[in-house]
Chains A and B, each alone.
Chain A
């Protein structure tokens, strides 16, 4: 547990020291979302219809944007080799790093989502659904992303490869996130979508740190 907390505190401190770099993902999330009204036209009816799905897609891309830095820096400066030999189990260190990643990407996105929802003319129930969906969905995105980031460590053109590997695995999360928004907007019960998002989160909480740890071990061999 102490290792988990130590690595979490370290990653957050490092991100703050980079001043500005930490919140890059949420800036990308907002800016990307604002491109759509300019590209598709500012019709309120159309915007309110596509707003939820659009923000869900942007959440995927923004998470992806910050992913290749998840282990890259530690791999380059040798920290990773120390983590591999640390007495704390590797999966708990992966959990710490992934939680830090989520606090810096998913967390700010959840805060920014209502504002962007208003700008995209979304209704209040839809915005509420979006916040719930992002709260359950973005941790899953970070966890699954950690698998991809550890697999592509040291690969040629790792960034592009990372997107190719991770985006197919993101599809279920995307489907149920936008499903939650649509159901909330039309006043239908969205419990089923939320339950599946929760199930995906629990599944990735169990599997992703383990898979990422297995992949990280290979870099040390």
Chain B
């Protein structure tokens, strides 16, 4: 853990990883979109609208993964006081919020033709809206304090408190009898989805995850560069005062 808390080493690792991630993400995205949108069976009830699944479900998965990552980074930041973990939380939050918004928007577009409504106050949908607001609250805390250390701590506590929402999202469809369909892929025994549909779904999940990590590494590099610029400016103004 402490090995990767060194910004210089992290940057080296990030630069080395990026081409590989790109090499995995792009083919996954192209193949996933092709199979998902053109070459997968249509649903006997939903017809072509089932294809929204390939952009909706991976977005929801990525949104939840992002929050889990935010919480882990926050815990590491609070316990071991690694500035890099704080920065990781700051970097990951807008990406997670973006994927949450994509999941909500595509879900709404899917809901209109299949359920006949853009929105229902169902447990799964409501808890995902709460997820979006937790992300936004986390970002707002970062912007509300003068000192970044204080902002990082406050934001981290909020992220950890908000983790109670993740199991609610995951199990909402089992606990409440609602319009949103129950889990069909990650359940005990065989997956309830046809392999012809599962393959493009998993390809898209890989593409989203790769995109998520790419954006994360990019944002980390920007954050570290900003920190460096701020430190250099501070050093320069100090040197100016000394003269």
Q: Identify the A interface with B (CB < 8 A).
A: 147, 151-152, 154-158, 161, 164-165, 167-169, 171-172, 203, 207, 211, 214-215, 218-219, 221
Contacts and interface: CB of A to CB of B under 8 A. Distances in A.
Q: How large is the interface on B (under 10, 10 to 19, 20 to 34, 35 or more residues)?
A: 20 to 34
B165 to A, nearest CB: 8
A41 B169 CA distance: 37
A156 B144 contact: yes
B157 A165 contact: no
A164 B160 contact: no
Contacts of B160: 211
A147 B157 contact: yes
Consensus secondary structure, chain A interface:
helix
B161 A211 contact: yes
Consensus secondary structure, chain B interface:
helix
B130 A207 contact: no
Which of B136, B145, B149, B168: most chain A CB closer than 10 A?
Answer: B145
A152 B146 CA distance: 12
B162 A169 contact: yes
B141 A171 contact: no
B111 to A, nearest CB: 20
A94 to B, nearest CB: 13
Contact of A155 (B141, B149, B162): B141
A214 B145 contact: no
A213 to B, nearest CB: 10
Given A147-B161, A155-B141, A219 B130 contact: no
A165 B137 contact: yes
Contacts of B137: 161, 164-165, 168
B78 interface: yes
Contacts of A167: 133
Which of B134, B143, B157, B164: most chain A CB closer than 10 A?
Answer: B157
Contacts of B149: 221
